[in-house]
Amino acid sequence: MSVRFLALYETPADPEAFERHYREIHIPLARRLPGLRRYVVGRDLAPVRGGAPCYLVAELEWDTMEQLRAAFASPEGRAAADDAARLQELAPVRIMIYTANEA
């Protein structure tokens, strides 16, 4: 089993400022989340059917939902959440999704 957290971002008003902040501040914070197994970022994503494209999708993966919850409840998780609020000023989050996958 694996558990994923996905955050889909709208196109930022200032892509350069968003990218700089995301790369230099947010990714290092998120990589410190306890139990994080994988962190993948996709850019310039177009939906298969209808809807507007997404600027960026972040996918974070843990082994269990308990690990994900513990990671976000940790000091590192709170720091990443605080910074996510700053990212919202640069590019709105379209949606956040938690998903559990069976192996």
Strand partners for 38: 61
CATH for 2-101? 3.30.70.100
CB 33 within 8 A of CB 60: yes
- Model confidence over 6-59: pLDDT tens digits? 999 999 999 999 999 999 999 999 999 999 999 999 987 777 677 777 899 999
pLDDT of residue 100: 80
User: Does the predicted TM-score (pTM) go above 0.75?
Assistant: yes
- Give domain limits for the chain: 2-101
Cα angle, residue 52 at apex, residues 27 and 36 outer, rounded to 5°: 25
- Model confidence over 59-77: pLDDT tens digits? 999 999 999 999 999 999 9
pLDDT of residue 72: 94
